[in-house]
Structure 1
């Protein structure tokens, strides 16, 4: 094994410790570690695989390790064992002896002889005796929980809301990294043109069978492409692209995107306006507004105005009934994006969902006076939870009699088939997009 590989595993261990100890976001830490250590494509891929995989399957790994750990061990040693077992069980291309050798070397460097002996002993026992069977867990929710590393409270909640079969399928898919997707900038190019340009650049791509302007990137880093640099496309998940369709946009409309960062939906709305009208994009944080502006400039869109503002105070900034469409893509628990941000599932608690609902309702309440009579309000989240989604919708409608639910129409045909009246709950297993919820209302005339 090369020194570089050893370095990759040491970086992975540091990253795992930081995520667990400081509740840092794994995606941000990973990006920073790759940049800081100037890792090449192969090493960056190995680091990503080990770090994400270990976080993603933490509960399963602990279940496998439990019979071999007779006493409490230091947190970093636990992380080292987890990432080593992850490689032994889930990475075919890495020889077991190499994994064990590297783990023992790291243990020697970071701890005393007793620790390297323990690490060696545990990993050789795992190799020799094999893993305990997940099938021995008799309770179905608990078995899904341990087998897919989702907290038991969350699995039980989803089983109660959606049934065991749907929950199991969702939890299993959450363990698999999503395919990156981009949205073609229709003001600059057609999808066919962008597919051709990407193929000429050496990318492996396929058009999305679900969203007309989406392309799936099967191989290559799109952020480093000419297509991206020239603003012919932007990175956005397919589920998130449905929102602009739900708004049923017409030229020259004034549209408010009340929780806009990082600007994927804002720019999609602007493109659908075909450089007419105006999109006002609000977000709490100045640095996120900067992101929206950068995206807008790269895509060459001149009908977007982004400003830092708490959307709960939007009524102080804009006159009543000044928008034809309003989007509330609300802050949420993010349970639909666990494939991208695996640490979320361990950090969230059940009571967090209720606290978020209060924020969601406050934003909806604050922006309603700004919508014109006959105008459309779309509420969306990137979560999968009945109380947070349908529950918020029911409470909003109960206290806002001037609004009525309207059918979610004008969607791409294969997406339209998933809707129920004025609501759409996308599950990750539906077409590989993020878990996502959309609901639509009209202000009565």
Structure 2
């Protein structure tokens, strides 16, 4: 089956050559309150590109599929389906398995896709290297919660994954990916870090949800109307540039002040640049949201091995005139304050508010002129080695990329650089790409 790329044949075809199901033994788990807000998000998509001889593709697929079966025996929620009981509460049950798709795109090379700014044609190709584009998490009621596409490239292998976001967050995603790769290298066994599946440790409350009939039905209820056409780009900031941004944010702080972190400094830098690129007026409110990991914020804390969602969106907002007219430390200070104040009590209040009035979210709920950051440069995405070496590039798919959505990844070199994957409308993106203050390049 040939899959067209964009309009007609603007990019090389990706041809699906086979599909199978990989399943473990039957297990179940109830979704916690932390999980439920993501039921009307879309499957999270990750793409990893590996350079390997094309002749090794069948062996790689066989080893990766066998290791996936081993991984799913341990990470069993990814092999079930979402079920809703008569009271409207959600759980994951069953052993129907994950979907594995084999495909070919032998006219595409790794270098076509792994460059810093590969352009719109490469973006179109990449959307066909990850499964479940446009599939909302609520479809986990009848679809696999994990889908994997293994695509043979001219000189490599593309590993595209789609994870149901109502089942896991970024920390758990990369825990699973590193464990799957570890089992592939070892030829079986058990991963070195076992997942913790008791979601009652996070929150044991049954919440009734009234689910829409479909993604389309839910999107029609968005008061801000249909999604806008977006452009995605990757901006690679070397370690030296990241250090300059952090130093600039911290330069004016008094000696006794708490210094700004790399994330707070870079987040402020991005927020200000995107606000300039959007051409916001002085009184226009702009919001910043970070999906904060709450494992260390709970009391008692939960370890990184907790498998599920333990994130909450932390918001702050300010008029654009204040954001852009003030120094870098103003924006960084706003982020630091919002993040520091999101302690165990704040986490619990947010959970209680949701349980009292459950809501099906839209992207527009993030706020006006929003910049939202998901993923983290702390995730060791370039350590995911299936025996093929380190990935040449790690990217996100098109799902969950609304206007202003940012994914942060460590630079491939492992030297402290950070890749900023950003989605914006076309005109602001054009301005951002020419913004020397954002890129920190000479005029």
Normalised-by-shorter TM-score class: under 0.3
TM-score (norm 2): 0.23
* Structure number, greater radius of gyration: 1
Higher helix share: 1
Higher strand share: 2
TM-score (norm 1): 0.22
